[in-house]
Amino acid sequence: MSVERTQGSCLAIRTLPPLSISRCSHSSVSLDNASCGSPTWMGKGLTCVCFKRKGTYERVYINLTPLQEERQRRLKHRMKVHFDASRPDHQEALRALWSATYPDQELHGLVSDQWKEMGWQGRDPSTDFRGAGFISLENLLFFAKTFSTSFQHLLNKQGGKQVAWGYPFAVAGVNITFMIMQMLDLDATKPRTFVRAVFLQMLSENEWTFDLLYCIAFVVMDKQWLERNATYMEFNDVLKSTRSQLEKELLMDDVLRIEDMPSYSLLC
Protein backbone atom coordinates (compact mmCIF):
# COMPACT_ATOMS: atom_id res chain seq x y z
CA MET A 1 0.00 0.00 0.00
CA SER A 2 1.41 3.42 -0.93
CA VAL A 3 0.38 6.86 0.29
CA GLU A 4 0.28 9.74 -2.15
CA ARG A 5 -0.50 13.40 -1.41
CA THR A 6 -3.09 15.00 -3.67
CA GLN A 7 -4.62 18.46 -3.83
CA GLY A 8 -5.25 20.29 -0.57
CA SER A 9 -5.14 18.13 2.55
CA CYS A 10 -6.25 14.93 0.85
CA LEU A 11 -4.34 11.69 0.92
CA ALA A 12 -4.95 8.91 -1.57
CA ILE A 13 -4.11 5.43 -0.34
CA ARG A 14 -3.50 3.03 -3.17
CA THR A 15 -3.76 -0.73 -2.82
CA LEU A 16 -3.88 -3.52 -5.35
CA PRO A 17 -6.69 -2.91 -7.83
CA PRO A 18 -9.66 -3.08 -7.98
CA LEU A 19 -10.18 -1.67 -4.48
CA SER A 20 -9.80 2.11 -4.42
CA ILE A 21 -9.51 3.90 -1.08
CA SER A 22 -9.17 7.62 -0.59
CA ARG A 23 -8.93 9.66 2.57
CA CYS A 24 -9.70 13.35 3.08
CA SER A 25 -9.59 15.28 6.35
CA HIS A 26 -12.14 18.04 7.03
CA SER A 27 -12.02 19.70 10.42
CA SER A 28 -15.27 21.54 9.72
CA VAL A 29 -17.41 18.41 9.40
CA SER A 30 -19.74 17.97 12.31
CA LEU A 31 -20.45 14.63 13.96
CA ASP A 32 -24.12 14.88 13.03
CA ASN A 33 -23.18 15.06 9.36
CA ALA A 34 -20.59 12.32 9.54
CA SER A 35 -22.67 9.57 7.95
CA CYS A 36 -21.86 10.55 4.37
CA GLY A 37 -21.69 13.70 2.34
CA SER A 38 -22.73 15.20 -0.92
CA PRO A 39 -24.78 12.88 -3.15
CA THR A 40 -22.21 13.58 -5.89
CA TRP A 41 -19.87 11.23 -4.02
CA MET A 42 -22.29 8.37 -4.40
CA GLY A 43 -22.29 5.94 -7.28
CA LYS A 44 -22.85 2.27 -7.89
CA GLY A 45 -20.69 0.28 -5.52
CA LEU A 46 -19.31 3.45 -3.87
CA THR A 47 -19.74 4.15 -0.17
CA CYS A 48 -18.20 6.74 2.08
CA VAL A 49 -18.10 7.56 5.77
CA CYS A 50 -16.62 10.27 7.97
CA PHE A 51 -15.00 9.49 11.31
CA LYS A 52 -13.01 11.45 13.85
CA ARG A 53 -9.28 11.01 14.15
CA LYS A 54 -6.88 13.28 16.02
CA GLY A 55 -9.31 16.18 16.13
CA THR A 56 -10.41 15.99 12.49
CA TYR A 57 -12.91 13.97 10.52
CA GLU A 58 -11.82 11.72 7.70
CA ARG A 59 -13.85 10.27 4.88
CA VAL A 60 -13.22 6.72 3.73
CA TYR A 61 -14.31 5.85 0.20
CA ILE A 62 -14.47 2.23 -0.91
CA ASN A 63 -15.38 1.29 -4.43
CA LEU A 64 -16.34 -2.37 -4.35
CA THR A 65 -16.17 -4.66 -7.36
CA PRO A 66 -19.01 -7.11 -8.01
CA LEU A 67 -16.76 -9.91 -6.72
CA GLN A 68 -16.05 -8.06 -3.47
CA GLU A 69 -19.72 -7.23 -3.01
CA GLU A 70 -20.71 -10.86 -3.53
CA ARG A 71 -18.07 -12.23 -1.16
CA GLN A 72 -18.94 -9.65 1.47
CA ARG A 73 -22.62 -10.60 1.11
CA ARG A 74 -21.81 -14.29 1.59
CA LEU A 75 -19.70 -13.55 4.65
CA LYS A 76 -22.44 -11.39 6.16
CA HIS A 77 -24.89 -14.23 5.59
CA ARG A 78 -22.58 -16.66 7.37
CA MET A 79 -22.32 -14.28 10.31
CA LYS A 80 -26.10 -14.17 10.72
CA VAL A 81 -26.66 -17.93 10.87
CA HIS A 82 -27.44 -19.02 14.42
CA PHE A 83 -26.39 -22.44 15.61
CA ASP A 84 -29.41 -24.73 15.56
CA ALA A 85 -28.94 -28.07 17.34
CA SER A 86 -31.94 -29.49 15.47
CA ARG A 87 -30.39 -28.99 12.02
CA PRO A 88 -28.66 -32.12 10.63
CA ASP A 89 -25.92 -30.08 8.92
CA HIS A 90 -25.10 -28.29 12.20
CA GLN A 91 -25.04 -31.61 14.03
CA GLU A 92 -22.72 -33.02 11.39
CA ALA A 93 -20.40 -30.03 11.73
CA LEU A 94 -20.11 -30.71 15.46
CA ARG A 95 -19.29 -34.35 14.81
CA ALA A 96 -16.73 -33.30 12.20
CA LEU A 97 -15.09 -30.98 14.71
CA TRP A 98 -14.81 -33.82 17.21
CA SER A 99 -13.34 -36.16 14.59
CA ALA A 100 -10.81 -33.55 13.48
CA THR A 101 -9.84 -32.83 17.08
CA TYR A 102 -9.81 -36.36 18.48
CA PRO A 103 -9.51 -38.72 15.48
CA ASP A 104 -8.85 -41.74 17.71
CA GLN A 105 -11.70 -41.15 20.16
CA GLU A 106 -15.29 -42.11 19.53
CA LEU A 107 -17.87 -39.45 20.36
CA HIS A 108 -20.63 -40.81 22.56
CA GLY A 109 -23.15 -38.09 21.78
CA LEU A 110 -23.72 -34.45 20.88
CA VAL A 111 -24.46 -33.93 24.56
CA SER A 112 -21.67 -35.55 26.53
CA ASP A 113 -19.07 -34.84 29.20
CA GLN A 114 -16.49 -35.49 26.49
CA TRP A 115 -16.99 -31.99 25.11
CA LYS A 116 -15.49 -30.51 28.25
CA GLU A 117 -12.14 -31.95 27.14
CA MET A 118 -12.17 -29.52 24.23
CA GLY A 119 -12.90 -26.55 26.43
CA TRP A 120 -16.66 -26.13 26.20
CA GLN A 121 -18.39 -24.88 29.31
CA GLY A 122 -20.64 -27.89 29.73
CA ARG A 123 -21.90 -31.14 28.26
CA ASP A 124 -23.75 -29.40 25.44
CA PRO A 125 -21.49 -27.22 23.23
CA SER A 126 -24.50 -25.78 21.38
CA THR A 127 -25.16 -23.47 24.34
CA ASP A 128 -21.80 -21.72 23.80
CA PHE A 129 -22.48 -20.57 20.23
CA ARG A 130 -24.99 -17.87 21.17
CA GLY A 131 -22.51 -15.01 20.93
CA ALA A 132 -21.02 -15.72 17.49
CA GLY A 133 -23.33 -18.26 15.87
CA PHE A 134 -22.61 -21.11 13.49
CA ILE A 135 -19.64 -19.35 11.87
CA SER A 136 -17.67 -19.81 15.09
CA LEU A 137 -18.05 -23.58 14.70
CA GLU A 138 -17.05 -23.29 11.05
CA ASN A 139 -13.95 -21.35 12.12
CA LEU A 140 -12.89 -24.00 14.63
CA LEU A 141 -13.43 -26.75 12.07
CA PHE A 142 -11.48 -24.82 9.42
CA PHE A 143 -8.59 -24.34 11.86
CA ALA A 144 -8.59 -28.00 12.87
CA LYS A 145 -8.52 -29.22 9.26
CA THR A 146 -6.32 -26.58 7.62
CA PHE A 147 -3.63 -26.11 10.27
CA SER A 148 -3.95 -29.30 12.28
CA THR A 149 -0.46 -29.03 13.80
CA SER A 150 -1.07 -25.53 15.15
CA PHE A 151 -4.57 -26.50 16.27
CA GLN A 152 -3.32 -29.48 18.25
CA HIS A 153 -0.40 -27.48 19.62
CA LEU A 154 -2.73 -24.85 21.04
CA LEU A 155 -5.20 -27.42 22.31
CA ASN A 156 -2.64 -29.56 24.07
CA LYS A 157 0.30 -27.16 24.52
CA GLN A 158 2.50 -29.78 22.89
CA GLY A 159 6.15 -28.83 22.86
CA GLY A 160 5.39 -25.41 24.27
CA LYS A 161 5.38 -23.86 27.68
CA GLN A 162 3.30 -25.99 30.00
CA VAL A 163 0.90 -24.13 32.24
CA ALA A 164 -1.01 -25.25 35.28
CA TRP A 165 -3.89 -23.01 34.26
CA GLY A 166 -5.22 -21.86 30.94
CA TYR A 167 -8.23 -20.76 28.95
CA PRO A 168 -11.08 -23.00 27.78
CA PHE A 169 -9.93 -23.73 24.24
CA ALA A 170 -13.24 -24.02 22.39
CA VAL A 171 -14.94 -21.15 24.21
CA ALA A 172 -11.89 -19.00 23.50
CA GLY A 173 -12.35 -19.83 19.83
CA VAL A 174 -15.94 -18.59 19.89
CA ASN A 175 -14.79 -15.35 21.53
CA ILE A 176 -12.13 -14.88 18.86
CA THR A 177 -14.73 -15.16 16.11
CA PHE A 178 -16.87 -12.54 17.83
CA MET A 179 -13.85 -10.25 18.28
CA ILE A 180 -12.99 -10.40 14.57
CA MET A 181 -16.60 -9.71 13.61
CA GLN A 182 -16.51 -6.58 15.78
CA MET A 183 -13.12 -5.51 14.45
CA LEU A 184 -14.20 -5.73 10.81
CA ASP A 185 -17.58 -4.11 11.51
CA LEU A 186 -19.10 -5.80 8.47
CA ASP A 187 -22.65 -5.26 9.68
CA ALA A 188 -22.25 -1.50 9.44
CA THR A 189 -23.91 0.09 6.41
CA LYS A 190 -20.85 2.22 5.78
CA PRO A 191 -17.21 1.33 6.51
CA ARG A 192 -15.71 3.16 9.47
CA THR A 193 -12.10 1.95 9.48
CA PHE A 194 -9.29 1.29 7.03
CA VAL A 195 -8.95 -2.17 8.56
CA ARG A 196 -12.23 -3.14 6.92
CA ALA A 197 -11.09 -1.67 3.62
CA VAL A 198 -7.88 -3.69 3.68
CA PHE A 199 -9.81 -6.82 4.64
CA LEU A 200 -12.17 -6.40 1.68
CA GLN A 201 -9.19 -6.18 -0.64
CA MET A 202 -7.82 -9.40 0.85
CA LEU A 203 -11.25 -11.00 0.49
CA SER A 204 -11.11 -10.38 -3.25
CA GLU A 205 -7.83 -12.28 -3.35
CA ASN A 206 -8.99 -15.19 -1.16
CA GLU A 207 -12.57 -16.07 -0.23
CA TRP A 208 -11.33 -17.78 2.95
CA THR A 209 -9.69 -14.63 4.30
CA PHE A 210 -12.02 -14.42 7.33
CA ASP A 211 -11.28 -18.02 8.33
CA LEU A 212 -7.54 -17.54 7.81
CA LEU A 213 -7.61 -14.35 9.87
CA TYR A 214 -9.33 -16.36 12.59
CA CYS A 215 -6.50 -18.91 12.62
CA ILE A 216 -3.92 -16.13 12.82
CA ALA A 217 -5.83 -14.49 15.66
CA PHE A 218 -5.91 -17.74 17.63
CA VAL A 219 -2.15 -18.31 17.46
CA VAL A 220 -1.47 -14.64 18.26
CA MET A 221 -3.80 -14.81 21.26
CA ASP A 222 -2.16 -17.98 22.54
CA LYS A 223 1.32 -16.54 22.08
CA GLN A 224 0.42 -13.41 24.03
CA TRP A 225 -1.28 -15.51 26.70
CA LEU A 226 1.88 -17.51 27.34
CA GLU A 227 4.19 -14.49 27.16
CA ARG A 228 2.10 -12.71 29.80
CA ASN A 229 1.65 -15.77 32.02
CA ALA A 230 -1.97 -14.65 31.90
CA THR A 231 -4.75 -15.95 34.09
CA TYR A 232 -8.34 -16.60 33.10
CA MET A 233 -9.34 -13.25 34.60
CA GLU A 234 -7.06 -11.53 32.08
CA PHE A 235 -8.59 -13.19 29.03
CA ASN A 236 -10.41 -10.05 27.86
CA ASP A 237 -7.21 -8.02 28.13
CA VAL A 238 -5.33 -10.56 26.06
CA LEU A 239 -8.13 -10.55 23.48
CA LYS A 240 -7.95 -6.75 23.24
CA SER A 241 -4.20 -6.95 22.78
CA THR A 242 -4.69 -9.58 20.10
CA ARG A 243 -7.09 -7.31 18.23
CA SER A 244 -4.58 -4.44 18.40
CA GLN A 245 -1.87 -6.69 16.96
CA LEU A 246 -4.10 -7.79 14.10
CA GLU A 247 -5.10 -4.22 13.27
CA LYS A 248 -1.45 -3.14 13.31
CA GLU A 249 -0.44 -5.89 10.92
CA LEU A 250 -3.38 -5.33 8.57
CA LEU A 251 -2.39 -1.68 8.16
CA MET A 252 1.27 -2.36 7.37
CA ASP A 253 2.32 -0.96 4.00
CA ASP A 254 3.57 -4.27 2.61
CA VAL A 255 0.56 -6.33 3.74
CA LEU A 256 -1.64 -6.78 0.69
CA ARG A 257 -2.72 -10.40 1.15
CA ILE A 258 -3.64 -12.36 4.26
CA GLU A 259 -0.45 -14.39 3.79
CA ASP A 260 1.60 -11.17 4.05
CA MET A 261 0.67 -10.64 7.69
CA PRO A 262 3.78 -11.31 9.84
CA SER A 263 1.86 -13.54 12.25
CA TYR A 264 0.73 -15.82 9.39
CA SER A 265 4.15 -17.47 9.74
CA LEU A 266 3.10 -18.77 13.17
CA LEU A 267 0.70 -21.21 11.51
CA CYS A 268 1.78 -24.71 10.64
∠ Cα 213 139 81 (to 5°): 115
CA–CA gap between residue 95 and residue 116 (Å, rounded): 14
User: Which among 28, 58, 79 is positioned nearest to 214, based on CA atoms?
Assistant: 79
pTM of the model: 0.78
For each of the chain's 268 residues, which pLDDT tens digit applies?
333 333 333 333 333 344 444 434 333 333 333 333 332 222 333 344 343 444 444 445 567 889 989 999 999 999 999 999 999 999 999 999 999 999 999 999 999 999 999 999 999 999 999 879 999 999 999 999 999 999 999 998 754 454 545 899 999 999 999 999 999 998 877 667 789 989 999 999 999 999 999 999 999 999 999 999 998 899 999 999 999 999 999 999 999 999 999 999 999 9
- DSSP-derived 3-state class of residue 224: helix
Alpha helices in the chain (DSSP H): 66-79, 88-101, 134-146, 148-156, 169-184, 194-205, 209-228, 235-250
- DSSP-derived 3-state class of residue 125: helix
Residue 60's DSSP bridge partners are 23, 49
